[in-house]
Every structure is written in C-alpha cells, then in structure tokens.
A and B are shown apart, each in its own frame.
Chain A
Amino acid sequence: MKNLKLNKIRNHDFITYLMVLIAFLIAGILSVTGQMSSLMEGLLVPLCIYVMLAISLNLTVGILGELSLGHAGFMCVGAFSGAFFSKCLDGAIPDGLRFFIALLIGAAVAGMFGILIGIPVLRLKGDYLAIVTLAFGEIIKNLVNVLYIGRDEDGFHFSMKDSISLNLKPEGEVIINGAQGITGTPNDSSFLIGAILIFISLIIILNLIHSRDGRAIMSIRDNRIAAESVGINITKYKLMAFSISAAIAGVAGVLYAHNLSTLTASPKNFGYNMSIMILVFVVLGGIGNIRGSIIAAVILTLLPELLRGLSDYRMLIYAVVLIAMMLFNWSPGAIEWKERMKEQYFSKFPFRKDDKNMKKEVK
C-alpha cells in the first residue's frame, strides 16, 4: 500500500518534469530551426523567469498557506545583488563561472532577506500579513532607487543621496546609479539556462513537498494549532518555506537582470503590480498545484502576445478572460452547474473521483 502511494506521487511529479521537458524541446526545436518569430524568441527567457516566480510563490501561498504580495521584492533583491556581482567581476573570471556564482549570490541574498523579513512578518496573520509583505516589497523597490554604489582604487563607496556624494576618484566607476540602476550587465541568460533553473527549482520544491519538512509545512497550513500541539516548530518551518521561496525568486531575478542590458527598479518590473501578476499565475493555476502554476504562467505570459494582433484591446481581453476564468472556476454556482452537466452527459461512464472532489468531501 505504501509503495503504491509513493508510486502515485512519483508518477504525478514525473508528469510535471516530462511536461516541462517536452515544452522545452518543442520551443528549442522551433527556435533552432527558425520557425519562431523574433518576438516569441525574445519571450522565451521571460517565460522561464515567470514560471520560476510562479512555482516559488506557490510554495508560500499554496504549501505554506500565507498570502504574500511582495514577491517581486525578493526578485528585485536577487536581480540587483546578482547584477552587482557580475558588474564587479566582469572580465576577471570566466563568464560561465561568474554567472553561476551570480546565481548563487542572488539566491543567497534573496533567501537572507526572506529570513530577515519573515521573522517579523510571519507573526502576523491573513490580510495583515499580505499588506506587510506588500509594504516590504515597496520599501525594497524604494530603497534600491536611492542606492548609489561606486568603485575606485580605494574600494567601494556607498551613498543614499546621489552619485556626486560618492566622492569617487576620476577613474572610478558608478556601479549602482540610483534610479538609473545598473547599466551594462553582461547578457548571460539563455533559454537553456532558464530551463535548467526551472528543473532545479522544481526538484527542490517537489522534493520538499514530499519530505518530512514539507508535510510539517502543510500541516501548519491545514491547522496551525493542531500542528503546534503535536510539537511542530511553527516558526522554523514557516521561515523555511518563506526563505526557500524567496531564494528561488532571487534566482529568477538574477536571470532577469542578465537578460537586459539596463536594470532599473521601476513600479512596472518590481512593483506590487508584478507581485500581483505572479499571484494571478498561482491562483489561476490552482493554489498548491505546482504543475498548474507552470501552465498558467506560460499561458498568461503568451496570451497578451498572442493577442497582439488586436493591439489596443489585448489587455482589456486579458482582464475579461481573467474575471471570466475566476468566475467559472471558483463560484459555487458554476461548480454546481459543471457537476450537473457532467452527471447529465457523462453519467454512463465510470468516473474516477479525482483528488479535488475527495478533499471537498473530507471538509
């Protein structure tokens, strides 16, 4: 019996890995053989970034069960720390190694911020937690915009005012220039690296979910008091999930930074709009369903581009699709209607009850 259950879990994960692999191969072949428009090709790396952000946020929202609205903040931290490192050591060490270390640094710094922010934030609950994560995301974006770091032969100079107050020597160079951000980050990101990173994050998250720690995290989500009373260290597991989620977002940020030549922290890329966008991927894909978030991230990133022919109306259609999908998937009326339709037209076939229905019955 135990083996059977394990197999089921492995099969479920295997399908997820296989799906990503097939999608990667199809996109890769299309891109190599030149069947893909340059617009779509430019979308491949952002696609990887969004998928990573979506699965990492799903760890916080779906597995840990806490609503976070500041995920873009962690991405911002990762992006700037990774780009800063790359800029400092550009040319000093081989490109591949440098990018690899930059990814590690992005993950470490974002994970550290995850712990730092998580300690106060995870004491709060529900909507209060959501608004505080939103506040932290905005603070990070705001601080990065007034941060100036320069370098000359004396070492690093640091200021929160402007680039002149850095007091650099004439040959010195400004690395982070406040609102202008970092310019000239080496262009290291590629679709292959993005796909590998998605695989690594998937392995980390899926294995975490099925491990002892993952079950502890999910028990906190399902009933905090019960989990506490059987001796689970709530703070430790909450922080674990939160910081892993932040670290993966940080890696996505490094990938983002090395895909653009100029990195700035604007409301558009690291503001709350971005955090909400990632949350939309997670909720549409199914909260707690990692495979679903991947599919939702891919579809929702491609949708505005596929609708580009409709130019002005595309974002409007996007909004309508979003509302309609939510109403269709979540409203009790629509769910009942779907079940009725199912019974009416498919009642002759034997039906396997899927996990979702089972869960509802338990509740």
Chain B
Amino acid sequence: MSFISYLINGISLGSIYAIIALGYTMVYGIAKMLNFAHGDVIMVGAYVVFTTVSTLGLPPALGIVLATVACTLLGITIERVAYKPLRNAVSPLAVLITAIGVSYFLQNVALLVFGAGTKSFTSVVPLEALELAGGELVISGVTIVTIITGIIIMVCLTLFVNKSKAGQAMLAVSEDKGAAQLMGINVNGTIALTFAIGSALAAVAGLLLCSAYPSLTPYTGAMPGIKAFVAAVFGGIGSIPGAMIGGILLGIIEILGKAYISSQMADAIVFAVLIVVLLVKPTGILGKNIQEKV
C-alpha cells in the first residue's frame, strides 16, 4: 500500500514539475533560450497568493486569479525589457546571462519586499483528504487537485497548440521564424504570447507547489525551476508531450528515490537518471534528432 501512496505522491509532484517544464519547453522551442528566471516567476506567483489570501484575507479564488494575471504581465514585461533586445545577439550565451540577472533581480526584490524569513503558506485547496482501502491509503486534497489540474492543463495546452490558430502560429515560429513572418504571422506577438502562457502556468505551479510544501522564501522557486528544466531536457526540450512525460517521470523517481534509497541522495538520483537517459538518447525521450549538415 505504501508503494501506491508513494507513486501517487510522485505523480502529484511530477505534475507540478510538468506544468513548470511546459513553460520552459515552450519558451525554449520558440525563443531558443533557457529562461533561467522561470523558477522565480513561480515564487512571485506564490507570494501574490500569500499576500492576497493570508495578509489581506481575500478569498483564495481571487488570489489565484490575481497571481495568474500578475505572472502573465511579469512574463511579458521580462521578455520585452530583457530578452527581446538580445534576440539577434551574436552569442546565444548573452540572453542566458541576462536571464540569470533577471532571476537575481526577482529574488532580491522579493527579499526586500517580504524579507528573508520563511512564510508559512496556507493551502488554497479546500478539499478534504481521501481515505481509501479502510484508511490504509490516504491521499491529501492537494495531491488530488494537483493531479487533476495537471491533466486539465496538459489537455488544454495540447488542444490549444494543435487546434487553434495562435497555437499553430507558435509551432510555425518555432520551426522557422523568417518563414513564419513571410506567411503573415506576427512573430513578436507570438513570442510574447508564449511567454505569457508559460508565466501563467508558472503561477499555477507556484500555488500548487506551495500548497503541497507550505514554506515560502525568496528562493523557493530556484530548485523546482532547475528540476523542471531537467524534466524538460529529459523529455526532449522543445517538445510539449516530452515535458509532460519528463516531469511526471522525474517526480516519481524523486519520491521513490527518497522513500526507498536515501532521502539525502534523492537529488543525485534524479540527476543520475537524467545523465543515463541522455547518454542513451542524446536528445531526450521525445526529442528530435537533427542531423548536422556540412
């Protein structure tokens, strides 16, 4: 029974990683950049919910909406101010370092506004824990909500990208920016939309993460951000189904590793699995292998 409960917890954590990884992978696919500040957008979203719900005492639903809106605006602003000027820079590293700068910036603003102390986050999930098999298997409300939210987001996003016009435009821009522009696609608008969706997903991930692990500091987003980045690479960066599979697998491996091998070594195990996968399949599970031409 304990194995099943670990597995469910793993899927729940994995859903959070998958939601964050979707943001990473979409931005990578379209802008060919690693958005290191993505993890800190999660933290900003969690702080917005914390302020509205715990400090101001407003209803959680309003907090969730506010956090999503705030993160969306933040994502668009970051893209416009820090990344857009560097889109055609000679070195691809330039925009990576700028993203690191943005990450430092967000962390330090949070540090100034909210202080370094740990805030205890009150869960925004009102659901009771579910008891199965005569009380042997207890699944908390947050876990259920996280898994359901994860599934809804993945289905909606897949439908959006494959069926809607804006989603098709995204695929086109990620395939070939120049050709997409010639076909009349608004490239700048599409990239901004990608950042907006990615950041909104980060806000959702942030409040799910802090509902499950209720301690909030300015550095809360950093480690899940890196793990989700690993998940995105694991599944093949740039691929949306890859990010989902990568995220969920990573969550399961982490929880099972913590439970059965060693709690201190959990991170090392996650990274070791990543290395093994990349050595066997160098572009991730669902990554496309692009042949190099002379």
Q: Are A127 and B97 in contact (CB under 8 A)?
A: no
Cβ-closest chain B residue relative to A229: B294
Question: Would you call B82 an interface residue if the criterion is a C-beta within 8 Å of the partner chain's C-beta atoms?
Answer: yes
Instruction: Give residues in A with beta carbon < 8 Å to B.
Output: 61, 67, 120, 123-125, 127-128, 130-132, 134-136, 138-139, 142-143, 145-146, 160, 179, 225, 272-273, 276, 279-280, 283-284, 287, 312-313, 315-316, 318-320, 322-323, 326-327, 329-334, 360
Q: Are B89 and A331 in contact (CB under 8 A)?
A: yes
Q: Are B105 and A323 in contact (CB under 8 A)?
A: yes
Cβ-closest chain A residue relative to B236: A128
Across chains A and B, which 4 residue pairs bring their CB atoms closest together, nearest first? A135-B271, A330-B94, A331-B85, A142-B268
Q: Are A132 and B275 in contact (CB under 8 A)?
A: yes
Q: Are A139 and B91 in contact (CB under 8 A)?
A: no
Q: How far is the CA of A266 from the CA of B102 in the complex (A)?
A: 23
Chain B 23-38 interface 0/1 with A at a Cβ cutoff of 8 Å (1 = within): 0000010000010100
Which of A120, A179, A330 counts the most chain B CB atoms within 10 A?
A330
Given contacts A132-B275, A139-B271, 18 further A-B contacts (CB under 8 A): A124-B278, A128-B233, A131-B233, A131-B274, A139-B268, A142-B268, A276-B36, A283-B91, A283-B93, A312-B111, A315-B104, A316-B112, A322-B98, A322-B100, A326-B97, A327-B86, A332-B85, A334-B85
Q: How far is the CA of A143 from the CA of B112 in the complex (A)?
A: 34
A330-B90 contact given A138-B267, A283-B97, A316-B112, CB 8 Å threshold: yes
Chain B 100-144 interface 0/1 with A at a Cβ cutoff of 8 Å (1 = within): 111011001101100000000000000000000000000000000
Shortest Cβ distance from residue A149 to the other chain B in the assembled complex, whole angstroms: 16
Q: Are A287 and B93 in contact (CB under 8 A)?
A: yes
Q: Are B108 and A315 in contact (CB under 8 A)?
A: yes
Q: How far is the CA of A142 from the CA of B257 in the complex (A)?
A: 14
Q: Which residues of B contact A320 (CB under 8 A)?
A: 101, 105
Q: Which residues of A contact B105 (CB under 8 A)?
A: 316, 319-320, 323
Q: Which residues of B contact A123 (CB under 8 A)?
A: 279, 282
Q: Are A127 and B237 in contact (CB under 8 A)?
A: yes
Cβ-closest chain B residue relative to A277: B100
Q: Which of B108, B111, B265 touches A146 (beta carbons < 8 Å)?
A: B265
Q: Are B265 and A142 in contact (CB under 8 A)?
A: yes
Q: How far is the CA of A179 from the CA of B262 in the complex (A)?
A: 14
Q: How far is the CA of A150 from the CA of B183 in the complex (A)?
A: 68
Q: Which residues of B contact A120 (CB under 8 A)?
A: 275, 279
Q: Which residues of B contact A128 (CB under 8 A)?
A: 233, 237, 278, 282-284
Q: How far is the CA of A123 from the CA of B85 in the complex (A)?
A: 33
19 of the cross-chain contacts (CB-CB < 8 Å) are: A120-B275, A120-B279, A124-B279, A124-B282, A131-B274, A136-B271, A138-B267, A143-B265, A276-B36, A283-B94, A312-B111, A316-B105, A327-B86, A329-B94, A330-B89, A330-B91, A331-B85, A331-B89, A333-B85
Q: Which residues of B contact A145 (CB under 8 A)?
A: 264
Q: How far is the CA of A39 from the CA of B28 in the complex (A)?
A: 42
Question: Would you call B65 an interface residue if the criterion is a C-beta within 8 Å of the partner chain's C-beta atoms?
Answer: no
Q: How far is the CA of A287 from the CA of B230 in the complex (A)?
A: 25
Q: How far is the CA of A330 from the CA of B98 in the complex (A)?
A: 10
Q: Which residues of A contact B82 (CB under 8 A)?
A: 323, 327
Q: Are B274 and A132 in contact (CB under 8 A)?
A: yes
A319-B108 contact given A332-B88, A333-B85, CB 8 Å threshold: yes
Question: Would you call B8 an interface residue if the criterion is a C-beta within 8 Å of the partner chain's C-beta atoms?
Answer: no
Q: Are A323 and B268 in contact (CB under 8 A)?
A: no
Question: Would you call B226 an interface residue if the criterion is a C-beta within 8 Å of the partner chain's C-beta atoms?
Answer: yes
Q: Which residues of A contact B284 (CB under 8 A)?
A: 128
Q: How far is the CA of A160 from the CA of B263 in the complex (A)?
A: 12
Q: Which of B36, B90, B102, B282 touches A323 (beta carbons < 8 Å)?
A: B102
Shortest Cβ distance from residue B38 to the other chain A in the assembled complex, whole angstroms: 14
Q: How far is the CA of A145 from the CA of B265 in the complex (A)?
A: 9
Chain B 220-233 interface 0/1 with A at a Cβ cutoff of 8 Å (1 = within): 00100010011001
Q: How far is the CA of A143 from the CA of B88 in the complex (A)?
A: 40
Question: Would you call B259 an interface residue if the criterion is a C-beta within 8 Å of the partner chain's C-beta atoms?
Answer: no
Shortest Cβ distance from residue B24 to the other chain A in the assembled complex, whole angstroms: 11
Q: Which residues of B contact A323 (CB under 8 A)?
A: 82, 98, 101-102, 105
Q: Which residues of A contact B102 (CB under 8 A)?
A: 319, 323
Q: Are B89 and A131 in contact (CB under 8 A)?
A: no
Q: Are B275 and A135 in contact (CB under 8 A)?
A: yes
Q: Which residues of B contact A142 (CB under 8 A)?
A: 264-265, 267-268, 271
Q: Which of A131, A143, A287, A312 touches B91 (beta carbons < 8 Å)?
A: A287
Q: Are B100 and A276 in contact (CB under 8 A)?
A: yes
Q: How far is the CA of A138 from the CA of B223 in the complex (A)?
A: 11
Cβ-closest chain A residue relative to B103: A319
Q: How far is the CA of A360 from the CA of B89 in the complex (A)?
A: 12
Q: How far is the CA of A322 from the CA of B278 in the complex (A)?
A: 32
Question: Would you call B176 an interface residue if the criterion is a C-beta within 8 Å of the partner chain's C-beta atoms?
Answer: no
Q: Are B230 and A135 in contact (CB under 8 A)?
A: yes
Within 8 A of A (CB), among B253-283: 262, 264-265, 267-268, 271-272, 274-275, 278-279, 282-283
Q: Which residues of A contact B97 (CB under 8 A)?
A: 279-280, 283-284, 322, 326
Shortest Cβ distance from residue B93 to the other chain A in the assembled complex, whole angstroms: 5
